[in-house]
Each structure stands twice: as structure tokens, then as C-alpha cells.
Structure 1
């Protein structure tokens, strides 16, 4: 079995990736992670999804490819220029709402507003420091029983000479020891942790 074959990126992915390359944006997820996002999204029909860190929309395109017609995705990105690329190719999809702004502030509003989303989200993909290295408990509080929290980029990187980042070690330990979640660690792609809230 070759896990690099048969990934079949969604139609918009190539266009998004081409624009990312043109502006020197290199932080999009790899295709293995994208395929996992699509598969997990398909397991949540009618689901409510949150992506923290849209980037230019590459991972967003994979999520949408797995979601059914009744699912809804909110994706938040602080860089307006990046969000414009994502919206250029994906903004016509009625299932997705794009938010340009500070993720920490947005998460706070989801947790504390009168119409709180605490315990109501089926799937959260945290692809930026906010939600992983900061505001972890706030984000986890949004996940409903049976819901999934996914983080990537957990393996050491070449730019750090493959020295583990202590912040990611701490994150791993927090998720391993969290009383409300069961997790699986995948030393695959960029390094992933899948956490599911216990019923």
C-alpha cells in the first residue's frame, strides 16, 4: 500500500495551491492530511465544522469535499490577503463562511456569547497556534460529545534541525491526559493528533 497514491485532491485545490505558490505561501497542509480531513468530514453528516487558520483555503477545500450538503463550515483567518484567495475559489459554496480576524477573539465570542457554541461543534481543525498552543481549553469546550478535534504539524521540522518544540510536547501531554478526550497520535504526514470527546 502506498499512502501517497490515489489521494485525488478536490478540483479547487490545484488553483488554490498555484496562488499560494505565487505569493510564497508555504503553510498549506499536505495532501495526506487533506485526504484525512475529507474522510473525517464525511463521517459527520449535517455537521458543524470549525477551521482555525484558513490560510489560502487549501485544507478548506478538502474539508468541503468531504462534507455533505447539510453540513456547515466556519473558517477563520487573520490575514485578509490569504482569505481573499480562499474566497476567490471557495466563496461560492454556501456551506462555508469565511471570517477575517483574530482567531483568539473569535473563539472567545463562540464560547461566551449568548448563543454560545460550547459543546455544539462536530469537528474542529486547529491549523494555527491559536487553538493548539494557546486557547486550547476554550477550543476543546466547543467540541460536542463524539466530536473530533484535529491538530497537525506535530512532528519536528527541518528548519529546527528536527529538534522537538517543547510547546508541542506540552500540547501532546495535555491531550494525552485530558479526562474528556481519547486520542490517537499519528507519526505520519506532518504529525497529527485526533482527539474525540467522550460521550
Structure 2
């Protein structure tokens, strides 16, 4: 099996990659996490989806590709320049809501329905406000994070934060999780029951 042979890239993906290079965006999502997100979302018809950390929209392109016509996706980022680009690409899709706001503030204010899948690719929802985000996931819903394998550009002390996050997720009794040394280091957790603590 050759997992480098990725045949189903979203049609908009190459254009977003070109735009990334044009503006010097240096944190693009890995193709493998994109394929994983698309596959997981395809398993959830009529889904409610949350992405924390829109970036320039590369992961978003995969997620949108996996959605059916009745699904809805909210993506949140605090960078106005990147959000403008994402809105240029996805703003005409009525299923997608692109929000420019601090993720922590958005999480604190959110009062809507629980989510079938949360992809946390920003500090909020991953290294902060994790309890709140995990509470927003439906039973049977996915929590997905990447960038869990050591990277050369990590600041001093970041490995301890990653280790603490993994330990915390492993101790949660309301989620089953799989840790994968694949792509940039991925954890997929599935909610098994509501946390009543």
C-alpha cells in the first residue's frame, strides 16, 4: 500500500496551495490529515462540524469535500487576512460559516448544538478550553488533533504541553482514542458518553 498515492484531492486544493505560497503561509495542513478528515466526515450524514484554526483553508477544503448537502461546518480563526482568503474560497457555500474571532472567546460564547466532529488545529480547543470543547461533541462524535509528533520548529517547552494533553486525553473515561505516529502525529478520539462531572 502506498499512502502517498492520494487521488481524491479537492478541486480547490491546488489553488489554495498556490495562494499559500504566494502569501508565504508556512503552516499548511498535511495531505494525510486532509484525507482522514474527509473520510471521517463522510461517515456523518447531516453533520454539524467545527474546525478551530481555519488557516488558509487547506483542511477546510477536504472537510467540505466530505460533507453531504445537509451538513453544516463552522470554522474559526483569529487572523483577518487568512479569514478573508478562506471566505473568498468558501463564502458562497451556504453549508460553511467562516468566522474571524479569537477561538477561546468563540468557545466561551457558543450555545448551539453539539458537534459530530471537531478538528482542533489551534491553541484553543487543544491546549486551552479543552473541557469546554469536548463537552461540545455528541456521543459518537469525533475529536481530531494533529501536530502531536515533535517538530523542529516547536518552541522550548512545547513537548511538555503535548505530553500533558496526551496524558489528559488518555485519562478521560468518556472518550476512546487512537494515537497514530502517522502524518504529523494524529489523535482520533470518539465520545462514548456524556461527561457528568
TM-score after normalising by structure 2: 0.94
Superposition deviation, residue 164 in structure 1: 6.9
Corresponding residue number in structure 2 for 1:13: 13
Aligned positions of 1:35-184 closer than 5 A: 35-110=35-110, 113=111, 116-117=112-113, 120-160=114-154, 165-184=159-178
TM-score, normalised to structure 1, is 0.93
Give the distance between the partners of 2:91 and 2:4, measured in 1 at CA.
29
Instruction: Report the 3-state secondary structure (helix = DSSP H, G, I; strand = E; otherwise coil) of the residue aligned with 1:184.
Output: strand
Q: Residue 132 of structure 2: SS of its match in structure 1?
A: helix
For residue 165 of structure 1, give the secondary structure of its aligned residue in structure 2. helix
- Aligned alpha-carbon RMSD (Å): 1.6
CA distance in 1, matches of 2:116, 2:46: 9
| 1:160 to 1:60, Cα distance in 2 relative to 1, 3 A | closer
Contact kept in structure 2, 1:123 and 1:148, CA below 8 Å: yes
Gaps of 5+ in 2: none
Once the two structures are TM-superposed, the CA of residue 7 in structure 1 deviates from its matched residue by 3.9
Structure 1 runs (4+) greater than 6 angstroms displaced: none
Deviation sequence 1:21-48 (CA, Å, 0-9, x none): 1111121211111000100010110000
Deviation (angstroms), 1:160:
4.5
Structure 1's unaligned 5+ residue stretches are none
Deviations 1:79-116 (A, max 9, x none): 01001111111211111001001100000111xx4xx4
Q: Which residue of 2 aligns with 1:198?
A: 192
Contact 1:77/1:101, CA 8 A, preserved across alignment: yes
CA distance in structure 2 between the partners assigned to 1:6 and 1:106 by the alignment: 34
What displacement does 1:16 show? 0.9
Aligned-partner Cα distance in 2 for 1:143–1:49: 9
Distance 1:14 1:30 in 2: 13
Q: Residues 77 and 100 of structure 1 are in contact (CA less than 8 Å); yes or no, is this contact kept in structure 2?
A: yes
Partner SS, residue 177 of structure 2: strand
Q: Distance in 2 between matches of 1:30 and 1:6?
A: 12
When residues 42 and 171 of structure 1 are mapped into structure 2, their CA distance, relative to the original with a 3 A threshold, is same
Relative to structure 1, is the Cα distance of residues 41 and 173 closer, same or farther in structure 2, using a 3 angstrom cutoff? same
Per-residue deviation, 1:8: 2.3
